[in-house]
């Protein structure tokens, strides 16, 4: 019996080592989101061409003074996991521009920044974690153009069309049949 106790103890320790790490309730509930966050951060290694004025499509954002907001039509893309990526240009009344490359996760209504534009028309990588849509321009892009009812665009062309027409037809309450056939 003296020798049986160490063997049982050794087997117990071995069994413990084979188990997966213990996770909190929050970690178990958010496993999907955590793995998506990590995967998406790793994916963005190349940035689109720096925006040209001829490619900018303006959209209206109420309550932010006289700032103008634009999306570069050539930068729009939609990932297979429902993230709409785009270049955003925010122009002050004096003409100063802030440029950023961003993504909206439609299903969770979250936003992430990938890079900032520099004055020399180059990108400075500045990845942020996914965060709630707190800024009015992100809320407008999500709700009215890129993710009506939290459903992502099917194609980048759908996003360009929504910006050109002042909103996605699902936001405006129209059927998508005529919209998709153009």
Find the range with the poorest average confidence among 38-42, 68-72, 100-104, 129-133.
38-42
Q: Please name the residues in contact with 50: beta carbons below 8 A apart, sequence gap of 6 or more.
A: 99, 117, 121, 122, 123
Q: What is the pTM of this model?
A: 0.71
Q: Is 7 exposed, middle or buried (0-12, 13-18, 19+ CB in 10 A)?
A: exposed
For the stretch 114-152, pLDDT in tens is 999 999 999 999 999 999 999 999 999 999 999 988 888
Mean pLDDT of the chain: 80
Q: Where are the beta strands (DSSP E) in the chain?
A: 56-59, 68-72, 77-78, 83-91, 97-105, 110-117, 123-125, 131-132
Res 23: pLDDT: 64
Tokens of 140: 């407008």
- Which pLDDT belongs to residue 180? 41
CATH class for domain 38-180? mainly beta
Model confidence pLDDT, tens digit, residues 83-94: 999 999 999 999
Question: Could you tell me how far CA 37 lies from the centroid of its own chain?
Answer: 10
């Amino acid at each position: 019996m003296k020798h049986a106790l160490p063997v049982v103890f050794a087997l117990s320790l071995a069994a413990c080592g084979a188990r997966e790490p213990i996770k909190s309730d929050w970690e178990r509930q958010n496993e999907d989101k955590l793995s998506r966050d990590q995967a998406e951060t790793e994916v963005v290694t190349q940035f689109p061409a720096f925006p040209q004025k001829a490619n900018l499509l303006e959209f209206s954002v109420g309550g932010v003074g006289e700032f103008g907001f634009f999306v570069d039509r050539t930068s729009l893309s939609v990932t297979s996991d429902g993230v709409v990526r785009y270049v955003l240009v925010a122009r002050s009344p004096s003409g100063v521009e802030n440029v950023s490359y961003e993504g909206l996760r439609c299903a969770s209504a979250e936003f992430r920044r990938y890079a900032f534009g520099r004055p020399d028309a180059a990108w400075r990588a500045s990845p942020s974690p996914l965060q709630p849509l707190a800024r009015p321009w992100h809320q407008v892009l999500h709700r009215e153009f890129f993710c009506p009812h939290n459903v992502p665009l099917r194609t980048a062309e759908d996003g360009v069309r929504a910006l050109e027409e002042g909103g996605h037809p699902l936001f405006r309450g129209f059927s998508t049949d005529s919209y998709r056939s153009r």
